[in-house]
Amino acid sequence: MTIIEKIRKPFDAVRSVVRFEPLETDAVARRLARCANVDDLRAVARRRLPRGVFDYIDGGAEDEVTLAGNSQAFRDVTFQPRVLRDVGVVDTTAMLLGTPLPFPLALAPTGFTRIADPAGELAVARAAARAGLPYTLSTMGTQSIEAVRAVSAGRLWFQVYVWRDRGLVADMVARAAAADYEALVITVDTAVLGRRERDVRRGFSLPPKIGLGTLVDGVLHPAWTLDLLRHEPILFANVAGSSARDGTSAVSLSEYVAAQFDPSLSWRDVEWFRSLWSGPIVIKGIQTVEDALIAADLGIEAVALSNHGGRQLDHAPTPFSLIAPVVDAIGDRVEVICDGGVRRGSDIVKAIAAGATACMAGRAYLYALGAAGERGVDRCLTMLHDDVKRTMALIGATNLTSVDRSSISGA
Ligand code: GLV
């Protein structure tokens, strides 16, 4: 070996293993490249959003026992993986409300989505449409029924709370029908607002006010604050201009709910909704077998087993734990959606194994929106879909009809 070759050898050895990636100049792509799962998106959102905003999204009621329990319920389940089953082709498609979807997930309604990103509901609806999944717009949305339809040719559902002013509710339902929303989702777990103690401590209001208390938070998160100031004010877009307060002045959510929501809501009102809405109805917030049976007897198309993401009654049962008993009681009369705690596609597969038709997820996409805007939501939905497919392959299931209680233990 010549002297030159001797000198070059170690350099060549290093060169053979070192690969410098081209520098990524797109900040969002850089951020997303480091996110391998929903928890990573949550960590980025936590850094980027003011603490009050992050805690409003992330937090739950009282001791947050139910909030934690919703996800824990999935972790307590183990798969019973079958091997040597030829999983060369895995089909993740499912039916929901009589229509196929690429994998069994609907995007849950979340209020005030624009606090996570200025495009808010428009960004989420566009991402959901690209993924072929239904997106549920909340009554407490910060984009209107019509504005969301204008950006999405996909499946849209409309969620209603019941305002004391029934005329306002009937008007919103009629607008959703006119804008070709597919299903009406009636949330029934919010007779009064749960006590979200993180919001209480921070004096969090909606829309967020940039007062003295939040000024420091705002200065520490300049990108978010500039976005808020640069865009049109955040309002309850679907009640804007009505007699109900539309968010032109900041208000605490509990004050707002106490003033506007009707705590006398009862099963009779569900019949009233039936007279207003000819499409499918989903009752969201069912937490017992008994109430699921009432919904089934009323001919409701789907129930969403939900404790509002642990934001209402603390120590409520987890949606996952309700799937098997509810499905056993109501059979296939009603579709069963598991809403709460979904952070991975494997959670969705576990819910299907227990007997659910599909899952709903809210926080997962809000974290993604707060972390990286619309592209974050795209990434989140792709990750969940990929997870479902990989999990199915690893448990030896080529389609979702073969995923059943024998696929898991602990349902
Ligand atoms: C609204 O639905 C909330 O849970 O804050």
The pLDDT of 196-222, averaged and rounded, is 81
The confidence score (pLDDT) of residue 248 equals 64
Q: Which residues are catalytic?
A: 308
**CA 2 to ligand 1 center in whole angstroms:** 74
Query: Which tens digit of pLDDT belongs to each residue from 124-181?
Result: 999 999 999 999 999 999 999 999 999 999 999 999 998 899 999 999 999 999 999 9
Rounded Cα–Cα distance for residues 396 and 411 (Å)? 19
Rounded Cα–Cα distance for residues 126 and 135 (Å)? 9
**CA 309 to ligand 1 center in whole angstroms:** 9
pLDDT at 193 over 90: yes
**Residue 78 has which token pair?**
């183990």
Rounded Cα–Cα distance for residues 72 and 411 (Å)? 13
Handedness of CA 234, 236, 238, 241 (dihedral sign): negative
Query: Is any atom of ligand 1 closer than 6 Å to the C-beta of 308?
Result: yes
**Residue 411 has which token pair?**
């349902």
pLDDT at 96 over 60: yes
Rounded Cα–Cα distance for residues 156 and 386 (Å)? 23
**CA 167 to ligand 1 center in whole angstroms:** 22
Alpha helix segments (H runs only) across 20-159: 27-33, 38-48, 51-58, 65-75, 120-131, 145-151
Rounded Cα–Cα distance for residues 117 and 228 (Å)? 8
pTM confidence score: 0.94
Neighbours of 355 (CB within 10 A): 18
Residue closest to 336 by CA, chosen among 408, 389, 282: 282
pLDDT at 293 over 90: yes
**Residue 274 has which token pair?**
């039936």
pLDDT band at 9 (very low <50, low <70, confident <90, very high): confident
Query: Which tens digit of pLDDT belongs to each residue from 68-94?
Result: 999 999 999 999 999 999 999 999 999
Q: What is the dihedral of CA 96, 99, 100, 105, to 10 degrees?
A: -30
Query: One-letter amino acid identity for 211?
Result: G
Neighbours of 171 (CB within 10 A): 14
pLDDT at 18 over 80: no
Query: What ligand 1 atom has the least distance to the C-alpha of 190?
Result: 2
The confidence score (pLDDT) of residue 370 equals 98
Rounded Cα–Cα distance for residues 312 and 108 (Å)? 16
The confidence score (pLDDT) of residue 42 equals 98
**Residue 296 has which token pair?**
């089934």
* Protein residue with its CA nearest to atom 5 in ligand 1: 111
Site to substitute for ligand 1 among 55, 58, 140, most atoms within 8 A of C-beta: 140
The pLDDT of 318-335, averaged and rounded, is 97
Query: One-letter amino acid identity for 328?
Result: D
**CA 110 to ligand 1 center in whole angstroms:** 6
Query: Is any atom of ligand 1 closer than 6 Å to the C-beta of 140?
Result: yes
pLDDT band at 104 (very low <50, low <70, confident <90, very high): very high
Query: What ligand 1 atom has the least distance to the C-alpha of 311?
Result: 4
* Protein residue with its CA nearest to atom 4 in ligand 1: 311
**CA 409 to ligand 1 center in whole angstroms:** 33
Residue closest to 405 by CA, chosen among 354, 356, 365, 359: 354
Query: Is any atom of ligand 1 closer than 6 Å to the C-beta of 311?
Result: yes
The pLDDT of 239-266, averaged and rounded, is 77
pLDDT band at 244 (very low <50, low <70, confident <90, very high): low
Query: One-letter amino acid identity for 265?
Result: L
Task: Return the residue matching tokens 């705590």.
Answer: 263
* Phi, psi angles (nearest 5°) of residue 179: -90, 15
Query: Is any atom of ligand 1 closer than 6 Å to the C-beta of 196?
Result: no
pLDDT band at 241 (very low <50, low <70, confident <90, very high): low
CA-angle at 173, arms to 167 and 176, nearest 5°: 145
pLDDT at 352 over 70: yes
What percentage of residues in the chain have a pLDDT greater than 90? 78
pLDDT at 272 over 90: yes
Q: What HEC string does 252-320 produce? A: CHHHHHHHHECCCCCHHHHHHHHHHCCCCEEEEEECCHHHHHHHHHCCCCEEEEECCCCCCCCCCCCHH
Query: What ligand 1 atom has the least distance to the C-alpha of 187?
Result: 2
Query: Is any atom of ligand 1 closer than 6 Å to the C-beta of 111?
Result: yes
The confidence score (pLDDT) of residue 288 equals 98
* Protein residue with its CA nearest to atom 3 in ligand 1: 111
β-strands 335-339, 183-187 pairing: unpaired
Site to substitute for ligand 1 among 311, 314, 339, most atoms within 8 A of C-beta: 311
Q: What is the mean pLDDT of the chain?
A: 93
**CA 102 to ligand 1 center in whole angstroms:** 27
pLDDT at 388 over 80: yes
**Residue 370 near residue 116, CB atoms below 8 Å:** yes
**Residue 253 near residue 261, CB atoms below 8 Å:** no
pLDDT at 211 over 80: no
Query: Which tens digit of pLDDT belongs to each residue from 370-383?
Result: 999 999 999 999 99
* Protein residue with its CA nearest to atom 1 in ligand 1: 111
**Residue 323 near residue 317, CB atoms below 8 Å:** no
Query: What ligand 1 atom has the least distance to the C-alpha of 312?
Result: 4
